[in-house]
Structure 1
Amino acid sequence: MNDRSLSGTPAASSAVVANHGDDVSGAAALDRVGALNVFVRSAETRSFTEAGRQMGISASAVGKAISRLEKRLGVRLFHRSTRSVTLTPEGAQFLKRCLRIIEEIEAAETELALAHSTPRGRLRVSLPLVGMLLMPVLGAFMRTYPEIVLDLEFSDRLVDVIDEGFDVAMRTGEAGDSQLITRSLGSYIHIIVGSPAYLAGHGTPEKPEDLVGHACLQHRFPSTGKLRAWPLERNGETLNIELPTTAVVSNIEPLISMAEQGLGLACVPDFTVREQLKRGSLVRVLQDLPVPRAVFRALWPSGRHLSPRIRAFVDFMGAHLFPETNPGP
């Protein structure tokens, strides 16, 4: 059995101090966590004497601590003989629980230690192609954490985070891999936008059906070759409207640029045109159109501890990427 007892914890330290008094005072000094520690050590060594030697207390103090624990629990944890002690079925079951408790305490201690260390090192991140539009936030992260070296890969393919060695992946939609931890960074919607000059020359659509008379700039998914459907609904029903295709692009950035140049209307994630809407180079149309919200997520391999650089990245993105829908980390 692996040595999982907390020999360096305050509980164990109290046991060491008890060695300087008599057995009664030594046993009384053990608190509940300390009693669990004594139990685990005794179960591992199969000996009260050896457990006491390793912890710096007498075998008698160990035995009395176990007896008090058994009395409190109302069950016998050990079969005792003159030569050894063995776990009862109840003791074996209790040991499993104690090991989990000790693991959680160890994890909490490590997590606190990591939280106070300076985030540094290489951070490999997978981003969707739209990630290029997140560069202002990524640049701010680099200035805030200069000791973290970002290794960014932009791709719309479904990467294998673990096998391909990514520390973090940022994606939309649901996460179906149980080996990954996921955190929502915020939500967004797809909106239809056009430039003031385009709308002045071609009119502003008042209802979805009006789009058939407009220049529509379409986005094609590189991975599937399919065009992204525009969110056109009425009373919960999807409207099957065949939109004109003025241009087709596989990346959001040129789509936004074309719309700003007055070449047509585009349907894009709202967070990608936040600045354009603010300065007025693009205007949202059909604002009353009901549109579903999608989730932008960070995913990273599940593990016992979260490294400082991953925590810093995820917290920073959560706080700054979608301030309207996710005002805090």
Structure 2
Amino acid sequence: MDSLALNVFVQAAETRSFVAAGRILGISASGIGKSVSRLEENLGVRLFHRSTRSVTLTAEGEMFLERARRILGEFDAAEAELSQVSTVPKGRLRIGLPLVGDPFLPALAEFQRRYPEVELDVEFDNRKVDVIEEGFDAVVRSGEIEDSRLKSRLLGHFRMLLVGAPGYFERRGKPMHPGELSAHACIQFRMPDTGKLQRWQLRRGPNESEPQFATKLTCNSNEARLCFALEGLGIAYMSEFSVRAALDTGALVTVLDEYTTEQNTFRLLWPSGRQITPKLRAFIDFMSEYLPLERAHK
């Protein structure tokens, strides 16, 4: 028997619902049911009367509920005492990140240097992972995330830009309007999670149709489309943080700036039902301060 099994039992008893208990703890209703069944088997008594509509405590369950609450209280007190003693961030931290190198790889390297006792286990994937069910301590995702089981912190905003190499524009000329992109080589990005092409969100007038693109290359790697753009193979639609270094050196230049109005956000997400450990707190605070993203907007 462990604190999780007791916590499952107490939540199920107080809410009178496996579904509601699962929602609070970030566990499926079937997972709650299995945990309760294992606890009943270990104790050798039936704790709940179950029906299709509700669950209610048996006499034994009522008796055990008070004891379980006291045990969990002792767990919480012990955990609080230990957290005050051991405040150095250390241990394994499982993190989920999007399939992009910058700005995350330099940030992870610096975090590792500052907190050498933290073991980073990083998974790069654009799919929408289940943070709780898959055992992540935290994940970074773009856009607005609606999940009551998760807490989040805004890491910053970024803008999308149209970029190409100076040599490309010397050969082909610079487009002055999105409608001219049909005469240019466009480097398209296929979203790894959906297989669909990324939409170039460009400002249009009220009577203007969506511009047509002459696709030169299609890839599903951020590094690949950056490389192709640097090699002068065409125009790419990329996030500002991905091309900032190349823009600063002049290896890439932007076009149609007045038409590229799309902005997005990065957020750090972590389970809301758990106490934040020193290692996770260090990661949250570090990422919030270190990433070179715009934070002026609310």
TM-score by length of 1: 0.62
Q: Which residue of 1 aligns with 2:106?
A: 136
Conserved in 1, the CA contact under 8 Å of 2:155 and 2:293?
no
Bigger RCO (CA 8 Å, 6+ sep): 2
Alignment pair present for 1:322 and 2:292: yes
Of 220, 225, 231, the residue aligned with 1:255 is: 225
Alignment-derived partner of residue 148 in structure 1: 118
Amino acid at match of 1:195: A
Q: CA deviation at 1:237?
A: 7.7
Where structure 2 has 5 or more consecutive residues not aligned to the other structure, the ranges are 1-72
Residue of structure 1 aligned with 2:194, choices 224, 228, 232:
224
| Gap runs ≥5 in structure 1 | 1-102
Equivalent position SS for 1:245: strand
Q: 2:241, 2:293 within 8 Å by CA — same for their partners in 1?
A: no
Residue by residue, what CA displacement relative to the aligned partner does 1:198-240 show, whole Å, maximum 9, x if unpaired? 1111111111112111100000012221100111112478841
1:180 matched residue in structure 2? 150
Distance 1:230 1:112, change over 3 A: farther
In 2: Cα distance, 1:259 partner to 1:172 partner: 23
- 1:1-329 → structure 2 map (5 Å cutoff): 110=80, 117-131=87-101, 134-235=104-205, 239-325=209-295
For residue 127 of structure 2, give the secondary structure of its aligned residue in structure 1. coil
Secondary structure of the corresponding residue to residue 212 of structure 2: coil
1:82-131 CA distance string (max 9 Å, x none): xxxxxxxxxxxxxxxxxxxxx9xx99x94995598111111101111114
Contact 1:219 1:227 (8 Å CA) reproduced:
yes
Aligned residues, how many?
222
Distance 1:188 1:216, change over 3 A: same
User: Are residues 159 and 153 of structure 1, via their aligned partners in 2, closer, same or farther at CA, if it must alter by over 3 Å?
Assistant: same
Which amino acid in structure 2 is aligned with residue 318 of structure 1?
S
Residues 306 and 282 of structure 1: is their aligned pair in 2 closer, same or farther, counting only changes over 3 Å? same
C-alpha distance in structure 2 between counterparts of 1:111 and 1:266, whole Å: 54
Aligned-residue identity in percent: 44
* Greater radius of gyration (CA): 1
Give the Cα separation in 1 of the matches to 2:260 and 2:154. 22
- Which deviations, in whole Å up to 9, do the C-alpha atoms of 1:64-99 show, x marking residues without a partner? xxxxxxxxxxxxxxxxxxxxxxxxxxxxxxxxxxxx
Residue identity matched to 2:94:
R
- State the Cα distance separating 1:302 from its structure 2 match: 0.8
What's the TM-score once normalised by structure 2's chain length? 0.68
Question: CA separation of 1:163/1:286 partners in 2, compared to 1, >3 Å: closer, same or farther?
Answer: same
Instruction: Output the CA distance in 2 between the equivalents of 1:115 and 1:190.
Output: 46
Whether the 8 Å contact between 1:131 and 1:154 is mirrored in structure 2 is: no
Q: Is the 8 A contact 1:185 1:326 kept in 2?
A: no
Q: 1:163 to 1:244 in 2, by over 3 A?
A: same
Letter in structure 2 aligned against 1:206: M
Q: Which amino acid aligns with 1:278?
A: D
Q: 1:186 to 1:132 in 2, by over 3 A?
A: closer
CA drift at 1:305: 2.3
Alignment-mate amino acid for residue 184 of structure 2: H
Q: 2:125 and 2:176 mapped to 1: Cα distance?
A: 36
Q: Distance in 2 between matches of 1:115 and 1:321?
A: 30
CA gap of 1:236–1:150, structure 2 versus 1, over 3 A, is: farther
Regions of 4+ moved over 3 Å: 109-116, 235-239
Distance 1:310 1:172, change over 3 A: same
